[in-house]
Amino acid sequence: MRGTYGKSSHLYRDAGGGHISAANAIKGYLETEHHITIITLFRQVLGWVDPIQLLTLQRFSLDNWYNYFVRKKYHRMINLIALFGVYSFFFLRPLIEWLILNCLKKEKPDIIISVVPVLNGAIGAVAQKLNIPFIVVPTDLNTWWVTRYLYAKTYKNFLFTLFFNDPMIWQQFT
């Protein structure tokens, strides 16, 4: 696949060191031969539909809270926030897809690489609408967050990567 695509958009969230590190590592590997655009999904595209920003009148964001709870090691709160995000984004999905679609129409990428844990369903649907190859690179061991509402599994230009072999996860894609 190396050398095939000229312009890629790389989507990530500004939450947790793993997402940021993965985004920077992928960019560092690909940028010598490709034009890479890194899009901070929540800040640049979805900021005003962030449920935490709505509840706190934009004083805090989902990513702010996530990062705060990671630093404090409040693991149960992290899971509650992630669960809240997954279900609230399910109801906001048409709007989220529209916002992502508008962003990607402007960017015009040849490929989309996502390290975003909770919105790959919406990103995959947009990639399929635009017929753009879509790669998901999970940064967490628990891939439930990554595969939740991910309907792109049947999309011929979809690739899901894992850094370990787990037959139960691969079973979701057969």
* Domains along the chain with CATH numbers: 7-46+92-171 (3.40.50.2000)
The pLDDT of residue 72: 92
- Band of pLDDT at residue 55, cut at 50, 70 and 90: confident
The pLDDT of residue 1: 43
* C-alpha 6 chain-centroid distance: 21
More confident residue, 92 or 47: 92
How much is the average pLDDT of 104-127? Answer: 89
How much is the average pLDDT of 32-49? Answer: 83
* pTM given for the model: 0.81
Q: Residue 8 and residue 142: Cα distance in Å, rounded?
A: 26
The pLDDT of residue 3: 45
Are 99 and 120 contacting, i.e. CB atoms less than 8 angstroms apart? Answer: no
* C-alpha 144 chain-centroid distance: 13
Are 10 and 40 contacting, i.e. CB atoms less than 8 angstroms apart? Answer: no
Cα distances (angstroms) measured from residue 170 to each of 95, 125, 138, 146, 147 = 30, 20, 13, 13, 11
How much is the average pLDDT of 139-164? Answer: 74
The pLDDT of residue 89: 79
